[in-house]
A and B are shown apart, each in its own frame.
Chain A
Amino acid sequence: MTLDATDRRILKATASGLPLTPHPFEEVARWLFLPEGEVIARMQAMQDDGIIRRVAVAPNHYALGLATNGMSVWDVADVQAEALGAQVGALPFVSHCYLRPRALPDWPYNLFAMLHGRSRGEVEAKRAEVAALLGAACRSNEILYSTRILKKTGMRLAGEG
């Protein structure tokens, strides 16, 4: 799918969020002088194509008490990695879960799962839950806690003109 200028106007107008009203798309349509039906149809097409993942809320992990997170990494047998990755991703305390290539011999891990908890002890208990779920399919694991954010830049939308 190629985004046209109107699609990009919609993405730009909604980049900082949708209005919290009963009819948010109607409001966006008013901003852009477009019919509401066109805004909805274009956003739906972008979602069908995967450009918009979903229209949703982002929870604030810190405010919700989940101030500790760790990047857990697992060496999971390749034949089971996709099925087990989906199960790990579905756990309620896992926010992101990915399969990535190993970097042998330094790095044997192929499954990455971000674990959230109220304390490091709680995160370690959740790591044990993941270990139990993976069972014998997992040969080893580690968890990497972040100590500092060294750089953080927002995602820029290319080609906004």
Chain B
Amino acid sequence: MRTTLSPEALDATDRLLINRLQDGLSMEHAPFARVAREAGLTEPEVVDRITHLREIGAITRFGPFLDAEAMGGAFCLCAMAVPPERFDEVMTLVNARPEVAHNYERLHRLNMWFVLACEKPDQIAEAAVRIEGETGLQVLRFPKLKEFFIGFRVEA
């Protein structure tokens, strides 16, 4: 959904809940009861508000977020400098590879940015080399060395 909600659609409590619930719920029988105590709400109020936030599209999902690398997968951000006159041709070749999960055009000399997703780490290099062979262009690889995650915050 690319529609923006009006600023009045959310009140301060909604914003507090969106921020708090990005940090994660504890795994227990009544996980919203803890959030309710922290927010000075009742448990049904918390559940109702989250349900409403999902209905209006302020949140897209409530559930477990998985670390695909911890599950044994391998991922790598890659970039290519594609000559503009070859962009569509190269895009077709890159997108045809099943290892390419996401691909974005960006405003830069390195204008094609994609994520390789493989089952095993050594398949990343194989996939990158294969794309280099098919396109004749260098694939720069930017594997994640360290991740800093906090999530973003809506202004309360």
What residues of chain A have their CB less than 8 Å away from a CB belonging to chain B? 3, 11, 14-18, 20-26, 36, 40, 43-44, 46-47, 49-67, 71, 82, 85-86, 88-101, 103, 106-107, 112, 116, 142, 144-153, 155, 157-158
B32/A22 in contact, CB under 8 A:
yes
Alpha-carbon distance A95/B31, docked complex (angstroms) = 25
A63-B107 contact given A21-B47, A22-B43, A89-B149, CB 8 Å threshold: no
- Place the interface of chain B in its size category: 35 or more
Alpha-carbon distance A52/B67, docked complex (angstroms) = 6
A88/B148 in contact, CB under 8 A:
yes
Q: Given A64-B10, A65-B7, 15 more contacts at CB 8 Å?
A: A17-B61, A21-B47, A25-B28, A52-B65, A53-B66, A54-B64, A55-B31, A55-B64, A58-B60, A58-B61, A59-B59, A63-B57, A94-B150, A96-B149, A98-B147
Cβ 8 A contact of A56, one of B23, B57, B114? B23
A65/B63 in contact, CB under 8 A:
no
B5/A57 in contact, CB under 8 A:
no
Cβ 8 A contact of A89, one of B27, B81, B150? B150
